Amino acid sequence: FTTGIYHIPANESDIDKIVDRATMAHNYSKQLPNERKFSFYREDMREKAIRDKDIEDVMSAALKNGEFRVFLQPKYNIDSGKMEGAEALVRWFKNGKMMLPSEFIPVFEKNGFIVNVDLFVLDEVCRLQRQWLDEGINPLPISVNQSKPLIYGNDYVKKLKSTVEKYNIPPRLIELELLETIIHDDIVRLTDTIRQLRDYGFLICIDDFGNGYSSLNLLKDIYADVLKVDRGFLSDAETNIR
């Protein structure tokens, strides 16, 4: 069960305020990992709620007005030193200032707007790949993150195919990154989805491997092309001989 607790000051008589504060604490407790979830109200919860509301009020207009931009982080082969691909990263330029994903992505994941952003990033990457092909440049695969609401939403595979076909690019130029934690939610359904994506030509990447319930069974059941090991798994690699 989840519980939100607000310590009512002696002079507090505003019932709406009391309920509001307890609700904020309750919502916060839902995010806790343990079974018996309870939280006491803190003022920073209210401040965060206000920030989240400010983001939600303008997110749709921001996407429409081109405030979100895609940057590419290159991937290099350590042995050869050659670039072999890139990862697409989204940034939000709000009021002329760049917001980091940690400021807005959690809000989008909670309210479902992350689906719109994921599809926007895919569209931008496909458009760029098409531009390079038209200029006679041989593009490298670019990876794009795939959120849980998008993967388990309606017509997921159809939406991805539609975007690739819109720009007429080879599917092998797109690498789909799936967080390892997402895979465990419904591995039977996801296995079938991944099969469809790979049959079409997409590359599949398991991200954050080692950050959760990793097992070799996962690698047996999910036909992935790329495995990204969570950096925490190797955080002490320079000092830990084992």
In terms of C-beta distances under 8 Å and separation of at least 24 residues, what long-range contacts does 107-110 make, across chains too? 107/52, 107/55, 107/56, 107/59, 108/59, 109/147, 109/148, 109/149, 110/52
Q: How confident is the model at residue 46 (pLDDT cuts 50, 70, 90)?
A: confident
pTM for the full predicted model: 0.82
Locate all alpha helices (DSSP H) within the chain, ordered by sequence. 15-29, 43-64, 101-111, 114-134, 148-151, 156-167, 180-183, 187-200, 216-221
More confidently predicted of 52 and 232: 52
What's the half-sphere exposure (Cβ side, CA atoms, 13 Å) at 29?
Answer: 20
**Is 68's pLDDT higher than 80?**
yes
Task: Quote the pLDDT of residue 26.
Answer: 84
Q: For the segment 103-162, what is each residue's pLDDT rounded down to a tens digit? A: 999 999 989 999 999 999 999 999 999 999 999 999 999 999 999 999 998 899 999 999
- Mean pLDDT of all residues in 186-214: 84
Averaged confidence pLDDT in the chain? 88
Interacting residues of 119 by C-beta distance below 8 A, sequence separation 6+ = 150, 159, 163
Q: How confident is the model at residue 36 (pLDDT cuts 50, 70, 90)?
A: low
Q: How confident is the model at residue 13 (pLDDT cuts 50, 70, 90)?
A: confident
- Maximum average pLDDT range among 26-30, 95-99, 155-159: 155-159
Task: Quote the pLDDT of residue 214.
Answer: 57
CB 68 within 8 A of CB 122: no
Task: Quote the pLDDT of residue 5.
Answer: 82
